Amino acid sequence: MHSTAAPVLQPSDEVAAALADGTPIVALESTIISHGLPQPRNLEVAKELEEVVRTAGAVPATIAVLDGVARIGLNEAELVRIATEPGLRKLGQRDLPMASALKASGATTVSATSFLAARAGIRVFATGGLGGVHRGWTVEQDESADLDTLARTRITIVCAGVKSILDVPATLQRLETRGVSIAGYRTDTFPGFYLNTSGESIDWRIETPEDAAAIMRGQDAFGGPETALIVANPVPVDRQLDPGLHDRVLGEALAAADREGVTGQAITPFLLDYLVRGTDGASLEANLAAVRGNVALAAEIALAWAG
């Protein structure tokens, strides 16, 4: 017999209390803090996003793995670890059993965070932009595990589309094939992460957080495969990155990644960082505007969902 060791998944006291009494909760990922944003801004942002959730009347649950335990809700010292610990791992869903067994620590991506949030009983999650199908996928077969997890996880994820460093039309095709529901929030086109729009059209548009909650109830009423709902929420036009600057620097970033042979888990952080430097920080401001808007909307949806 195996001993019944400590649980692999551990909600904070605050999150456990919110789960018990039905207080709205918003899950937040940690990879954006550890690998997606530069220091020291990343720690400020981590705290600010939690504050946005609280101001709206919900409880934030930033998720990460610390010393082998998947933690649902972090205190301030733990947020500092995520923001500053050198060499912190980037964990997708498949990495969780190894991190647990080997008592490792790491930040969780959309795939790992969605999985853990759903396991903990949290239904609403906010991030910046999803991972997806990378340009060059016909050769490299690099498709983020985010998509596969969303095809079999009952979570509502509020995001500004998928990162514009990706092949957006191919990513939308994959989401269609895998049966992931997408609703545009006050938009008829799929957002472009740093940009208000990717130019790709989407089929469904909603106007209110209550609309999102109604779709979630519909998912549960139909039953069937446990798929996600993507609420695609664009960054406002007046906060977006200049599209010309975006296209030029992204072209340079992709060429640099090619030249330097950057692939796999390293490619997304490499490109995001290149864009921050190549736009003198303008991409960072657009990224943050998108994330803030997504977190605020996620809190409203969590409230509507809690009824």
DSSP code of residue 73: S
In the chain, what is the greatest distance between 2 CA atoms, to the nearest angstrom? 62
Q: Which helix (H) or strand (E) holds 55?
A: helix 41-55
103 in catalytic set: no
Q: Which is nearer to ligand PSU, 60 or 129 (CB)?
A: 129
DSSP SS3 for 107? strand
**Residue 9, H or E segment:** strand 9-11
CB of 255 vs ligand PSU, minimal distance in Å: 19
Comparison of 95 and 142: residue with beta carbon closer to Mn ion:
142
Task: Tell me which residue of 48, 167, 160, 72 sits closest to 121, measured CA to CA.
Answer: 72
In angstroms, what is the minimal distance from the CB of 214 to ligand PSU?
A: 27
Q: State which residue, 111 or 213, has the beta carbon closest to ligand PSU.
A: 111
Taking CB under 6 A as the rule, does residue 42 contact ligand PSU? no
Contacted entry of ligand PSU, Mn ion, none for residue 167, CB cut-off 5 to 8 Å set by kind: none
Number of CB atoms found within 10 A of residue 101's CB: 10
Q: Is 43 exposed, middle or buried (0-12, 13-18, 19+ CB in 10 A)?
A: middle
89 belongs to the binding site for ligand PSU (CB under 6 A): no
Q: Say whether 29 is catalytic.
A: yes
CA distance to 127, 216, 241, per residue, from 287 (Å): 10, 27, 9
The alpha carbon dihedral of 256, 259, 260, 265 has a sign of: positive
In this structure, are residues 298 and 113 in contact, taking their beta carbons and an 8 Å threshold? no
Q: Does 192 bind ligand PSU (CB under 6 A)?
A: no
Question: Which residue has 């049966």 as its token pair?
Answer: 179
Does 95 bind Mn ion (CB under 5 A)? Our answer is no
Q: Is 35 in the site for ligand PSU (CB under 6 A)?
A: yes
Residues annotated within a binding site for Mn(2+):
142
Quick one: which segment of 18-26, 142-150, 183-191, 277-285 binds ligand PSU (CB under 6 A)? 142-150
Q: Which of 142, 146, 167, 300 binds Mn ion (CB under 5 A)?
A: 142
User: With CB under 5 A as the contact rule, which of the stretches 16-24, 122-130, 138-146, 219-227 interacts with Mn ion?
Assistant: 138-146
Mask for 105-134, x = binds ligand PSU (CB under 6 A): ----xx----------------xxx-x---
Q: Which two tokens stand for residue 193?
A: 């992460």
Residues noted as catalytic:
29, 163
- List residues near ligand PSU by CB under 6 A: 29, 31-32, 35-36, 109-110, 127-129, 131, 144-146, 265, 268, 272, 287
